[in-house]
């Protein structure tokens, strides 16, 4: 592709994955956000909860200064607490819902343009009951978000039987779910992630085309899923080119090609497309980020 990728998308980074010590809302938050904000390669950043009020206010000012688009990932609010938004126990479901509503409040405070979450674990025998709980929760989340402004809500499609074991899930169920929610809520959509495609055993075309009308956000990353004994197995988001991993320049190129074909990548309203990469063991986060940028540069040149 001879044209700049910035004409078609806002290139983002999930800072709390690249700097994982911040994922619970503590640690070197301001230092990490500052690194991303000072890197002109990125014109978007994805954040998550920041527990300390003063730190949150400073981060907000930093991001306002940066001229970056901001999105908010509510996934860690569930994954780090064990809460399940489709919990069959109503008390548990309401606890997860309250947590995400707090996240929506924080996202609006941080001027985020989108809020994301994920479906929880489920049992095959009660899958339909879990699905109904998810639909109920999603409608409440969308109602809550819409009452406060125009921020979009996205459910991220995860693996259903490997690591996170999320209800959503294979593309067929993702489509059914998105159709049901979008019929009532225009502030809802789906998020796709290149790193999850090998985990759900779907190609880019298989995972994207059936839900093309509902995709509002995308991630770029990698996964190891050949053998459970291999380093970084599961949903660990290792760097591109990690040993025994599934995604590198070729796979990212195909992913972007499909996103371009369906019109998701576009010049009229370029969407946020973010790296979700995480250092493995003692890897340097900044080198992992540089790896991701090089991979995207090469993939884009191949389009």
> What one-character DSSP code corresponds to residue 115?
E
Q: By three-state DSSP, how is residue 230 classified? A: coil
pLDDT at 256: 98
* Domain ranges, residue 169: 5-302
Contact partners, residue 151, CB within 8 Å, separation at least 6: 104, 107, 108, 112, 113, 114, 115, 145, 187
The angle formed by the CA atoms of residues 111, 116 and 120, to the nearest 5 degrees, is: 150
The CA distance from 46 to 67, in Å, is 14
Q: The tokens of 13 are what?
A: 């980074």
Quickly count: other Cβ atoms within 10 Å of residue 285's Cβ.
18
Q: Per the structure, how many domains does the chain have?
A: 1
Across the chain, which distance is largest between two alpha carbons, in Å? 54
Q: Give the distance, in angstroms, between the CA of residue 198 and the centroid of all CA atoms in the same chain.
A: 16
Per-residue pLDDT of the chain (303 residues; tens, 9 = 90+): 889 999 999 999 999 999 999 999 999 999 999 999 999 999 999 999 999 999 999 999 999 999 999 999 999 999 999 999 999 999 999 999 999 999 999 999 999 999 999 999 999 999 999 999 999 999 999 999 999 999 999 999 999 999 999 999 899 999 999 999 999 999 999 999 999 999 999 999 999 999 999 999 999 999 999 999 999 999 999 999 999 999 999 999 999 999 999 999 999 999 999 999 999 999 999 999 999 999 999 999 999
**Exposed/middle/buried for residue 293 (C-beta within 10 Å: 0-12, 13-18, 19+):** middle
SS3 68: coil
Residue 193 · residue 12 · CB < 8 Å: no
List Cβ neighbours of 212 (8 Å cut-off, separation of 6 or more).
262, 263, 264
Q: Which residues contact 53 (CB under 8 A, 6 or more apart)?
A: none
Q: Are 217 and 191 in contact (CB under 8 A)?
A: yes
Asked if omega into 169 is within 30° of 0 (cis), the reply is yes
The predicted model scores a pTM of: 0.96
Distances in Å between the Cα of 291 and the Cα atoms of 12, 175, 239, 269, 287 are: 14, 33, 7, 27, 6
Whether the CB-CB separation of 8 and 299 falls below 8 Å is answered with: no
- 44, 276 Cβ separation under 8 angstroms: no
Q: Give the SS3 label for residue 215.
A: strand
N residues, the chain: 303
Dump the DSSP string for 8-31: T-EEEEEHHHHSGGGTTS-SSHHH
pLDDT of residue 1: 82
- Domain harbouring 269, CATH code: 3.20.20.150
SS3 300: helix
Which position has the token pair 């949903």?
235
Q: Residue 237: count other Cβ atoms within 10 Å of its Cβ.
A: 26
pLDDT attached to residue 291: 98
User: What pLDDT shows up at residue 249?
Assistant: 98
How many CA atoms does the CB half-sphere of 209 hold within 13 Å? 9
Residue 38 has a CB neighbour count (10 Å cut-off) of 10
């Amino acid at each position: 592709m001879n044209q700049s990728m910035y004409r078609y998308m806002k290139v983002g980074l999930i800072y709390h994955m690249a700097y994982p010590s911040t994922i619970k809302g503590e640690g070197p938050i301001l230092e990490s956000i500052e690194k991303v904000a000072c890197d002109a390669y990125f014109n978007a950043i994805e954040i998550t909860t920041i527990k300390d009020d003063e730190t949150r206010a400073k981060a907000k000012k930093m991001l306002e200064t940066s001229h970056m688009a901001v999105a908010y990932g509510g996934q860690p609010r569930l994954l780090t607490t064990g809460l399940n938004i489709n919990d069959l126990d109503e008390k548990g479901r309401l606890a997860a819902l309250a947590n995400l509503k707090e996240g929506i409040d924080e996202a609006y405070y941080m001027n985020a343009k989108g809020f994301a979450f994920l479906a929880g674990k489920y049992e095959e025998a009660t899958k339909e009951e879990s699905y109904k709980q998810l639909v109920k929760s999603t409608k409440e989340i969308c109602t809550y978000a819409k009452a406060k402004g125009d921020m979009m809500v996205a459910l991220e499609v995860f693996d259903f039987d490997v690591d996170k074991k999320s209800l959503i899930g294979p593309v067929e169920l993702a489509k059914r779910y998105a159709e049901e929610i979008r019929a009532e809520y225009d502030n809802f959509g789906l998020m796709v992630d290149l790193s999850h495609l090998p985990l759900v055993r779907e190609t880019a075309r298989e995972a994207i085309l059936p839900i093309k009308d509902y995709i509002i956000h995308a991630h770029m990353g990698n996964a190891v899923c050949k053998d459970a004994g291999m380093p970084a197995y599961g949903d660990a988001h290792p760097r591109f080119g990690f040993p025994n991993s599934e995604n590198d320049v070729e796979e990212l190129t195909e992913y972007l090609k499909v996103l371009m074909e369906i019109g998701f990548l576009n010049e009229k309203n370029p969407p946020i497309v973010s790296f979700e990469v995480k250092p493995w063991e003692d890897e340097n986060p900044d080198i992992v980020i540089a790896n991701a940028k090089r991979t995207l540069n090469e993939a884009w040149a191949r389009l």
